[in-house]
Homo-oligomer: A and B are copies of this chain.
Amino acid sequence: MTAAPELAEPGRTRIGWIGLGVMGAPMCGHLVRAGYGTAVHTRTRAKAEALLEAGARWAEDPAEVAANADVVFTMLGLPEDVREVVLGPSGVLGACRPGALLVDMTTSEPSLAVEIARRAEESGAHAVDAPVSGGDVGAREARLSIMVGGAEDAVAAVMPCLEALGRTIVRQGGPGAGQHAKLVNQTLIASTLIGVCEGLLYAHRAGLDLPTVLESVASGAAGSWQLSNLGPRIVAGDFAPGFFVEHLVKDLRIALDEAARMRLALPGLGLARQLYQALAAQGHARDGTQALQLALARLSGIDWPGAR
């Protein structure tokens, strides 16, 4: 019989955090500052220095993170990383305390989230999937949208931590539902951004002044977050990453694999994957997703103005 999860509480609840990338580091920082005793681990120790100075404790591997934590967060790159860190030989699940709560915030496979939740239950632990949207800015400013999947009591127990990280925190259902909702989010973004890039490419080719076009189209029925936020960067030839192309490629792969598993055809998403795959192949894997403009321009032999 699995012990019921205990409500997370600053001062009392001990946190473990694995993965201190561009998202994980600022997110973990919010919990440290909120007063949670925190052990951290990440592949490159240098990325932990600021958190260690702020009071976090270093752990040599995921098992050491888990050994003394009530709640263990993972914020990693790929589903394979999540599998290794959570289910692997020196992983979290083999080392965690009875009643511990595992929270994977990586955008990962819904089926893996279901498997982790099942194996956690078998080990007397609890697992929640809680991927986020909002990018590095949302992570720094604690304004993320967090899409949560898991048993109601486990989600309720970790809610105080999530509230320190985001602003829109919604339980989408049982294990894997958070991941599914995140894939919906990425599906929306992918096609919207195709529209943004093709619209701007058409405008450029037609000889229109791009900022003037944005003035007409951004606030009406054609408007979107992608257009308002990435449109001006595309116009300026700024393809620096807010969100990496290679991460979107990963997310679209997962979404399409899940869709295939559910016997669902998504032609727009299929096209998006091919276009982003081409963009990555052209050397833009570590650019921002708005660099799709370059692949679409190249398709018609156009040098996008301002691009390197």
Contacts and interface: CB of A to CB of B under 8 A. Distances in A.
Residue among A223, A262, A269 with the highest chain B CB neighbour number at 10 A? A223
- Chief secondary structure at chain A's binding surface: helix
A54 B30 CA distance: 63
A223 B222 contact: no
A186 B203 CA distance: 12
Interface in A138-194: 138, 145, 147, 168, 170-173, 177, 180-181, 183-192, 194
A306 interface: no
A192 B187 CA distance: 10
Q: How large is the interface on A (under 10, 10 to 19, 20 to 34, 35 or more residues)?
A: 35 or more
Contacts of A243: 221
A262 B300 CA distance: 10
Contact of A221 (B134, B184, B266, B300): B134
A255 interface: yes
Interface stretch (A10-18, A120-128, A206-214): A206-214
Q: 8 nearest interchain CB pairs?
A: A191-B195, A224-B224, A188-B222, A194-B268, A180-B206, A187-B199, A188-B199, A184-B199
